[in-house]
A and B are shown apart, each in its own frame.
Chain A
């Protein structure tokens, strides 16, 4: 069997809140709960990690990037544990696993010009052997991404638009050529008309440099547009996986169904027909310990749902859901 590019095995991450001086109660928030999935090695894929806020998707992103340690579980990159990579072969891991984050302003150090994000990467990863080579690499890569070096280089971050800054991050990817990039809400802070350009650039990179991508978002419209496969998260647990199109067109898990039915469609002829019950959006929820993660809101809830946690099972070929409806 071919070795997957990335494999997560039973990754769990707990955060402790409060309980400092014995004045407040110490609460454990389980951001990621027994998460396991793989990214295949042979063909570059774009995998969408979809979920609402609090679903744990950003936590998983940071764990994969090595910015956060999991409470338990393993993350294997090309078969080797990430912890081992970071200890013995850190530069290689960093070179191969990169990130694109949401905030196109915060990602740049306001003290320096934007060129620095490109040149620093070239320097740190030894991508060029001379200053001239570095310069020509930068110019070529920018042109390849449809950006004009004359307009952008030498500027400070606040002088560029959000869209330009995010696309410059893609130029950085073109230079570094990582095998995997983790993009967390990469387009949510840029204008709609520019989003497609960014997403098209991303898919272009996937073909050009054989780069896989984990695209994290809460926006199913974008996930549908850009990804090949999809994983749906709810409160830190995986509830459904499969190829993107079928998951969105025929969702299996009730949570996914709820999510899909709430997507605003940009077509006034296709408006929502149902209304959201206030019960769906009630008070801040405290995690229920036993039972299915969605049992308190599920329209198809059965007695067993409150007692046992449904395992992720293969319902149809290539499609899995964690729901007792499909036992």
Chain B
């Protein structure tokens, strides 16, 4: 099957007085339809910038330096504003970080949902209202929520309202950036399951961005591990967790504390600063397997096995 989204060599930089900050520096991957695709990495790796770029939400001083973003064979970077607007919300939907706190506090839930429908379509209000209530039910919320104000809802419910709003117009692709970070563990589970549900029962493709690898392990099909603005590894979630190819992925998985593990090992050293990316492979200063070539040449992202990509000199 053809991928629903293909990103080719995307570079997103920020202008600053110190020169260009290379936030996302040559990222390529593809997302298959009807899957939950995870983007993982620690702070500063560029994952949030990456999805903002894919949705063309980069504002100055940030800019897209080069690359292609093919959605159903249309390059999003070359679309006009009008076409892009039509795609947004109806086919591509976005749940930004911390969005559950940006619900309008003076409007009822239902009103906000109807507002976003009528802003993007010509649907009459009554129909829009019915659709909103249907969506709330879809994410497992009781109908009473529609008439409530955001402050009356708990964190988990607000997040589900946000998800409902994102799928109002039945988009094909939903991008969720850190949707469960601020939530308690039981609530987190329910929201993660809501997200997995989008794939299972509605055939929606989800791009799930989070730094918590355990959350990825629970719901994601394939995943990308980013480091310092570049991709370290891409593969199925089973492959990456059990048998990672890239040393960073291996160490990262080993570093997650878990009730199933007796001890954990951290990764020594510090994540590099975007103002000062190391030469060659960006992970080499912290890599236990570093070879002389690693500090000179950047390893290209190669398809090592079927569907599995990694950027490491060890995998020649």
Contacts and interface: CB of A to CB of B under 8 A. Distances in A.
B32 to A, nearest CB: 17
Contacts of B193: 272, 275-276
A218 interface: yes
Contact of B259 (A263, A272, A281): A263
Interface string B251-280: 111011111110111111011000000000
B270 A161 contact: yes
Q: Interface range on chain B: under 10, 10 to 19, 20 to 34, or 35 or more?
A: 35 or more
A283 B153 contact: yes
A163 interface: yes
Interface string A158-197: 0001111000000000000000000000000001111111
A197 B268 contact: yes
Contacts of B189: 262, 264, 272, 276
B68 to A, nearest CB: 31
B260 A265 contact: yes
Interface stretch (A85-93, A124-132, A219-227): A219-227
Interface in B18-63: 42-43
Contact of A276 (B186, B214, B256): B186
B185 A265 contact: no
Contacts of A263: 185, 214, 259
A284 B211 CA distance: 27
A164 B271 CA distance: 11
A266 B225 CA distance: 14
Interface in A259-284: 259-260, 262-272, 275-276, 278, 280-284
Contacts of A272: 189, 193, 218
Interface of A: 52-53, 161-164, 191-197, 199-200, 218-222, 224-226, 248-249, 258-260, 262-272, 275-276, 278, 280-285
6 A-B pairs with the lowest CB-CB distances in the bound complex, closest first: A196-B266, A264-B214, A276-B190, A193-B267, A225-B257, A197-B266
21 contacts: A53-B155, A161-B271, A163-B270, A191-B42, A196-B255, A196-B265, A197-B266, A197-B268, A199-B257, A225-B261, A248-B259, A265-B214, A265-B258, A266-B241, A268-B218, A268-B238, A268-B241, A269-B238, A271-B219, A276-B189, A284-B152
